[in-house]
Amino acid sequence: MTFSADKPTMIEFKDVHKYYGDYHALRGINGTIKAGEFFSLLGPSGCGKTTLLRTIAGFEDISSGVVMIDGKSMADVPANVRPTNMVFQSYAIFPHMSVEENVGFGLRRDPRSKAEKAKAVDEALEMVGLKGYGKRAAHALSGGQRQRVALARALILKPKVLLLDEPLSALDKKMREHMQVELIKLQRQVGITFILVTHDQEEALVMSDRIAVMFEGEIAQLADPETLYRRPNSKKVADFIGTMNFIPCTILSESGDKVEVDAKGLGKVALDIHQAPPAKGETPVVGLRPETLTLLYPGQSANDRETDGVIDEVIYFGDMTYYDVYLGGTDVEVRLSMRNVPGRPVLDVGTKVRVAWSPEALVLFR
């Protein structure tokens, strides 16, 4: 998961803006993507993530700012000569060509001999697990196979950057999870910079070295998956990535590297400054992930802090059970998740419980 910062920069955005008429699609994008990185652009639909990807590919002109690829400005560089290749959301497999014609499409100007090109096509097909499929008609392929053809077609050109526009969204859940792992392996194998656009936060967490979370044409947070999940820098990011309980609080004091708050239902807590990202001018709340809260069964005691509660709702998932619990006689409801293991019965609605939690898991938004 850790990403070494010393790798060279592959892509750099400098204050990139994009307007469609009056609509401000990209509002000052800054940031860098390192060589060999698996990078994700994550956000809800309409946040500008696909537009940003398309500015890298050269399908969208930017209104102002600079997009650099491998140290060169891409202004006035058309899509067909950029060192990028794309796997389209629809895969864009040419329906009038066979699999090998599709994969070899970009080799037309390649000076190699016909036999060498054919060998390259075979190797590319083998790399994506489609050995022997070359002669098949493109329209006879399944969704997963089409995607592999699209991957082979892009990777055979050895681009500096591979762009993936929601490549897994059309696949069913099993196939999607399978392809996630395959894509990660493939990326390690070829060492090319991958940039993935997705609206699926789980997919982004699983696959990426780093993630840029985008809302309304801006990058809200750019960080590695663990930081994004554990230390989101805003309520919005926290809410988009996974589930988070938000508990109203008042800030009692702030001094140096400590912030003391009084959270409703939890009581007074002292937080480290790292748990309090820069203020956004919002009503203060503390955030807690469901898995950082634990139900205490009779005889168990908390390592850290403990609060009384009443179970309001039970959602059974097989391996997990989610409980919605009112905290400490207040109207503050939190969701917590418990792994279902032997000797730990699923509790009923209305049961009075004790909830254990750790101040270190809290994040303060204000």
Partner 1 sequence: MANSIEAEKRAGWALVSPPFLYTLLALAVPFIVIVGLSFAGLEGGRARVPLAPGDAEKLYFTFENFARVLSEPIYRVVLLRSLIIAVCVTLATVLMAYPIAYFVSFYVAPSKKALWIFLITIPFWTSYIIRLALWRTILGYNGIFDNFVGIFGIEPMNLLSNGALAITITLSHAFAPFAVLPIFVALEKVDRSLLEAGQDLGETRWTTFLRVTLPLSMPGVMAAVLIVFIPVVGDYVTAKLMGGSTTPMIANLVEVEMLKKRDHAMGSAVAVTAMATVAVISILFVLLNRRFIGSKK
Residues that bind partner 1 (CB under 8 A): 57-59, 78-81, 84-86, 88-90, 92, 94-98, 105-106, 108-109, 137, 139, 153-154, 157
Question: In the Cβ-directed half-sphere of 241, how many Cα atoms lie within 13 Å?
Answer: 32
Minimum CB distance to partner 1 smaller for 150 or for 204: 150
CB of 17 to partner 1, least distance (A): 22
CA 64 – CA 28 distance, rounded (Å): 9
CA 200 – CA 128 distance, rounded (Å): 23
Minimum CB distance to partner 1 smaller for 103 or for 311: 103
Minimum CB distance to partner 1 smaller for 85 or for 307: 85
Question: In the Cβ-directed half-sphere of 233, how many Cα atoms lie within 13 Å?
Answer: 13
Minimum CB distance to partner 1 smaller for 196 or for 220: 196
Minimum CB distance to partner 1 smaller for 3 or for 88: 88
CB of 236 to partner 1, least distance (A): 31
CB of 53 to partner 1, least distance (A): 12
How do strand 363-365 and strand 285-288 relate by DSSP bridges? antiparallel
CB of 90 to partner 1, least distance (A): 5
CA 185 – CA 155 distance, rounded (Å): 14
Tokens standing for residue 278: 């820069």
Q: CB of 348 within 8 A of CB of 266?
A: no
CB of 159 to partner 1, least distance (A): 9
Minimum CB distance to partner 1 smaller for 102 or for 234: 102
Rg, C-alpha atoms of the chain: 25
CA 363 – CA 366 distance, rounded (Å): 10
Q: CB of 357 within 8 A of CB of 303?
A: no
Minimum CB distance to partner 1 smaller for 20 or for 316: 20
CB of 84 to partner 1, least distance (A): 8
Of 275, 181, 183, whose CA–CA distance to 227 is shortest?
Answer: 275
CB of 56 to partner 1, least distance (A): 11
CB of 305 to partner 1, least distance (A): 54
CA 296 – CA 302 distance, rounded (Å): 7
CB of 315 to partner 1, least distance (A): 40
Beta strand extents in the chain (DSSP E only): 9-20, 23-34, 38-42, 64-69, 72-73, 84-87, 161-165, 193-198, 210-215, 218-223, 245-255, 258-263, 267-272, 285-288, 294-296, 305-316, 320-327, 333-339, 352-357, 363-365
- Torsion 182-188-191-192 (CA) sign: positive
Minimum CB distance to partner 1 smaller for 95 or for 342: 95
Of 288, 244, 229, 238, whose CA–CA distance to 263 is shortest?
Answer: 288
Minimum CB distance to partner 1 smaller for 77 or for 347: 77
Minimum CB distance to partner 1 smaller for 148 or for 335: 148
CB of 211 to partner 1, least distance (A): 24
Of 57, 56, 53, 8, whose CA–CA distance to 35 is shortest?
Answer: 8
